[in-house]
Copies of this chain bind each other. A is one copy, B any other.
């Protein structure tokens, strides 16, 4: 897994919006997704390409259309590997700061 690609892909609000749109209705075409975005089709294509490179979106060609599907696996892996560590130590990390602020 390439954590950097996933994080970079998530860093852009348009790409998070695309994931949201696909979450509402999975398997949408490029044109359909563009209806909800305030930019040219070509720009949206680039964003979808980045999501695809990060393996967050998988595509299937159907005739002249290209269907886009969310792949939730990388998100899950990123969470497991990067976020849960901080979650586990959440209270103790806050405790460290609190103690310092109190002059510990």
Residues of A within 8 A of B (CB): 3-4, 7-8, 10-11, 13, 16, 19, 23, 26-27, 58, 60, 62, 67, 69-73, 75-76, 79, 82-83, 85-87, 89-90, 93-94, 96-97, 100-101
Chain B residues within 8 Å of A60, by CB: 97, 100-101
How far is A99 from B12 in the complex, measured between Cα atoms in Å?
A: 29
Tell me the smallest distance from the CB of A49 to a CB of chain B, in Å: 17
- Interface of chain A, helix or strand or loop or mixed? helix
B69 touches A23 (CB 8 A): no
Q: Which of B4, B72, B89 lies in contact with A89, CB distance below 8 A?
A: B72
Complex CA–CA separation, A3 to B12 (angstroms): 10
Closest to A11 in B: B11
Closest Cβ–Cβ distance, residue A24 to chain B (whole Å) = 10
